[in-house]
Amino acid sequence: MSLTIGAPAPDFSLPATGGRGVSLASLRGKPFVIYFYPRADTPGCTKEACAFQSGLPDFSALGVTVIGVSKDSMKALEKFAEKYSLAFPLASDPAATTIAAYGAWQEKSMYGKKYMGIERSTVLVDAAGNIAHHWPKVKIDGHAGEVLKAVLALG
């Protein structure tokens, strides 16, 4: 599923690290970045999370919330956040409802076997609650900086 630029962002409400909850309703009126990753504390996901953490002062200065979403349990996410000092919310979506709504639940293939899993992707939602940018099939290197440039372009 591909997201349409300018379309309303899919609704969501998820538990997140630090006893927080994240929802479309609570973020209305300000832009936010929601990114989807396969699994906490794996090399690629750690690199991506740390890149967003490094850029967090810039995102925060622009009033932009960053949210990471995976199917991991809250316990695994809390451990991951603590291990790498991740200050932004990591949300748990074990049923993959929000993941699917944002187009990140995809058929994958490994060793000839097909299965459903999370495609690393990022979505920028504008202050009006509409999809401003969608990055499917994210390559980690330089991605957080690319997202920040798109946030700056929102104006």
Q: Whole-angstrom distance between the N-terminal and C-terminal Cα of the chain? A: 28
- Show the domain range for 85: 13-154
**pLDDT tens-place string over residues 75-112:** 999 999 999 999 999 999 999 999 999 999 998 888 99
Cα(118)–Cα(113) distance, rounded to whole angstroms?
15
142 to 29, 41, 148: CA distances (angstroms):
28, 19, 10
What is the arithmetic mean of pLDDT over 121-130?
96
Q: Which two tokens stand for residue 60?
A: 């925060």
In this structure, what CATH number is given to the domain that contains residue 84? 3.40.30.10
Q: Is residue 61 part of a domain?
A: yes
pLDDT band at 49; cut points 50, 70, 90: very high
> Which residue out of 27, 45, 67, 147 is catalytically annotated?
45
Query: pTM of the prediction?
Result: 0.94
Q: Is residue 146 part of a domain?
A: yes
Q: Which two tokens stand for residue 10?
A: 């899919």
Q: Is residue 102 part of a domain?
A: yes
Q: Work out how many domains the chain is built from and give that number.
A: 1
The yes-or-no answer on residue 50 being catalytic is: no
Q: Is residue 4 part of a domain?
A: no
Q: Is residue 5 part of a domain?
A: no
